[in-house]
Structure 1
Amino acid sequence: MTFQYKHIQSPLGRILIAANEEGLTGLWFDQQKHHPNSDAWHQVTSQIWLDQCEIEIKAYFDGGLCEFKTPLSVTWGTEFQKTVWQVLKQIPLGETVSYGEVARRLIKSKAFRAVGAAVGKNPWSIVVPCHRVVGANASLTGYAGGLERKRSLLLLEKSYLCNL
């Protein structure tokens, strides 16, 4: 399967977005943990899913997008990770849940550490809202893109709610 990619700019730094013919395969901030090796991928200036994602990311940061519509192409991850990522997609804009709550939603209440590892490897930063998962005491912990970005994303989303 061929991956195509391009870089886009955001208020929180440069972002790598990747796609194949089925949809978006990933979105990562520069220097983010678990950033993939894209040496074998093909850099492009335009591709249907990359272009749609770029438009949505710009709208998100401008405060005009509450839900991403670009289809995702799930090309990696264990079955457990994929299940965790599905739960992340259900966390509403402007809300946060704990790692333990994600584990409870999976009916694996003692698996919060495994949930944390799966959340950290989410390949679709922002689009699959792993930044909405916080520590048990609502502390900001464990964002592969960095805690300052996590804080900024959550504040941005709170400001959306004030404008609705």
Structure 2
Amino acid sequence: MSLFPAELEALASSIIRDFTARGLTIATAESCTGGLIAGILTEIAGSSAVVDRGFVTYSNKAKMEMLGVEADTLRDFGAVSMQTALQMARGARAKAGTSVSVAVTGIAGPGGGSEDKPVGLVHLAAVARDGTAFHREMRYGDLGREEVRLATVRTALDMLIEAAQAAA
């Protein structure tokens, strides 16, 4: 029995197969998902050929210390922002030396939202080794904590596929 929905596990499995065949590696940087992206990827047998490491950086301190997110970025834009997500993704890829990285930061709920940054807002970023960066701002809505986190995992997996095209 898997910890994850079958459709997400199938997507993760296809990523592991494709990345293995192409010799690509992954690092994750996760805040609101708390390691679920790395978790679903490592649920797949053979993932050690692809998944180098995952950073769970829930606090701002962790984002700065582990990924090099700048204090000014956190102060000026907040932890849940395009700027922070991009710095997280760049930091993870640089620290790990992987082909691609993906980063997520958001508000899964049930509390913690505001008018400007409501529950269900998630910023995702992916970076390829050539420096190509991708960003998505998702507004999943107040679906419940588990659903926001799983929707974020799905989007992050899609972004890994997108970043792999640039990493080729």
Task: Judge same fold: TM > 0.5, yes or no.
Answer: no
Higher strand fraction (1 or 2)? 2
User: Under a length normalisation based on structure 2, what TM-score does the superposition of the two structures give?
Assistant: 0.28
User: Under a length normalisation based on structure 1, what TM-score does the superposition of the two structures give?
Assistant: 0.28
